[in-house]
Structure 1
């Protein structure tokens, strides 16, 4: 039986020739992501914003103004409403004072549940969660610290494992992936909570795995073809690892699409972040990180004492000729 091949054998795509467009697109998307985050902000969940979150499901799409009026009349604080998942489900956010015990929180939840049940017959309570302002501040600090340390640690590893150009290109690509994810959440206003931080760290792990494989092949080919132009080495290395990159991305996306379709609204934000991260991470590995090595001045050291064998020359013929 013939094996399925998404990428044909002896693929010879000149990725480096598109690096100018790739760098421009990367810069544009990064600026847009930062702008969206600054203008619209993130829809922080209770984990980061603090307070009480109550999820209520109604038999038909409710009038949000009426729901807000019912809740505000209870004297439990100003309510913020957001549609969650389908139009019949609302998330109600209420402020919670620091030090409020579980009994007081349960009383507020019961009060809201009873009032909504009377005002909207058939409405059902789904779940609630609460976080104090002190804890939410600690969660924000720890989440940002975890992401920053992960990026710096990965860059340091790439510098020690390869050369400084590899570390810089890896950090640039990962920061691009993170900005795209944050910009997506600013645009979509999906809830940004600890689950999304976990998704971001997972995206970083996938991105570095893909980039290290390509970087390792580039370094191998730099030793093998010491007289070859760096442009041709990068093209050859990316083409050689392309089948693995595409197959890995496709298989992961199949699982994520199934989670997005069947996992329900609780996993929707996490899954959407993962899908975007896989697509953007694959793009940055192929078009940004690898080509950036040339811009940073990475060169294969010439060696006149060694001559490539027949197999090396055959492989070298697969590289697209350098543009003149």
Structure 2
């Protein structure tokens, strides 16, 4: 399936300065937003109580929120969990109350006039020490993923491409976290999983482009590095766009039909795919070009003359 059919390569590298400058401005803005507004950490990271309750009839979420607010739980997060009668309630850490006490207070507030209209299915407590450990482990997971990708691309391709790939991944992660900070969307474990998935998706897209760049460098002898990179990106543009669009369609369905619990995951991947596609086309290749990638860097190592016989065969 051909979405685009170009007779000539597009001049992507002609706009590398604009693209890199725009990304630098966005990264600085994202970092400032994270520093000023902070990240809206979910209960997985801050600690708190998670309560799953079952209503006899379809739950009225606005009414549930109002009831909990009147009971003193103004920061409670209320969302459907599976069916219209199952509700998940997240309560921030209550330092002056025990877990069981919080659960009984919630249940009493929802059961109006003492009638057993609501049944508690599950109650779990996440301590602040566990939340801090999850933050550290999550950050370490992203760091290990980036270092592993840096080593892999350097061994498979060339160090300039490796640097470009990792810069593009850091670019994607910072902008995605910056979006969550700006909109104050809750950052929980599902969002962390989405960012790790985004790293894998983005590097896959970048590797496809790099593979074509290496192939074109070896095939096109009398062309400049900018022309080779433009030709490689243009030739993979159909694949990049089709992959991004089909993945985005699935995520849109997840966002609207997957329930509130999956909103953060879908939002992170939807935005991440957009910036990941952009960074694969512009940032990764542009950084490698700025660092001075050339045809000689892409050629296979020469075989020493003493290892080749008179017929040119390797001994």
CA distance in 2, matches of 1:291, 1:161: 19
Residue of structure 1 aligned with 2:278, choices 275, 278, 283 = 283
Asked if 1:38 is matched to 2:39, the reply is no
- TM-score, normalised relative to structure 1: 0.79
Equivalent in 19, 24, 43 of residue 22 of structure 1: 19
| Separation (CA, whole Å) in 2 of partners of 1:205 and 1:60 | 36
Q: 1:234: how far off?
A: 0.4
What is the match of residue 221 of structure 2?
A: 226
* Post-superposition offset of 1:51: 1.8
Structure 1 pair 10/125, CA: closer, same or farther in 2 (3 Å)? farther
Cα deviations across residues 223-281 of structure 1 (Å, max 9, x unaligned)?
11233100000000001111111111111111111111111111111001011111110
Contact map agreement 2:64 2:78 (CA 8 A) in 1: no
| Whole-Å separation in 2 of the counterparts to 1:232 and 1:60 | 57
* Deviation sequence 1:111-164 (CA, Å, 0-9, x none): 212124439x98897975421122212111111100010011101111111111
> Hey, what's the Cα distance between the residues in 2 that align with 1:124 and 1:34?
44
Consecutive unaligned residues of structure 2, counting only runs of 5 or more, are 81-86, 298-315
- Determine which of 90, 93, 99 is the counterpart of 2:91: 93
Q: 1:45 to 1:127 in 2, by over 3 A?
A: farther
Matched residue, 2:135: 140
**Whole-angstrom CA distance in 1 between matches of 2:118 and 2:38:** 31
CA distance in 2, matches of 1:238, 1:285: 9
Q: Does the aligned pair in 2 maintain the 1:159–1:166 contact within 8 Å? A: yes
8 Å Cα contact 1:70/1:116 also seen in 2: no
Q: Distance in 1 between matches of 2:200 and 2:234?
A: 22
Q: Secondary structure at the match of 1:130?
A: strand
How far off its partner does 1:190 sit?
1.8
Counterpart of 1:71?
Answer: 72
Provide the residue aligned with 2:4 in structure 1: 7
Match of 1:261 among 256, 260, 273: 256
Matched, 1:207 2:202: yes
Measure the CA separation in 1 of the matches of 2:296 and 2:276: 30
Structure 1: tracts of 5 or more residues without a match: 73-78, 303-324
- Distance in 2 of aligned mates of 1:40 and 1:296: 35
Residue number in structure 1 paired with 2:306: none
Residue 252 of structure 1 is aligned with which of 247, 255, 258? 247
Question: Does structure 2 retain, via aligned residues, the 8 Å contact 1:203–1:278?
Answer: yes
Counterpart of 1:161?
156
What is the rounded CA distance, in whole Å, between the counterparts of 2:108 and 2:14 in structure 1? 64
Q: Following the alignment from structure 2 to structure 1, what is the Cα–Cα distance between the partners of residues 188 and 64?
A: 26
CA shift, 1:60, in A, is 6.5
RMSD (Å) for aligned C-alpha atoms: 3.0
- How many pairs does the alignment contain? 286
Aligned residue in 1 for 2:187? 192
- Separation of aligned partners in 1, 2:207 and 2:69: 51
2-side partners of 1:266 and 1:63: how far apart? 17
Aligned twin of 2:103: 109
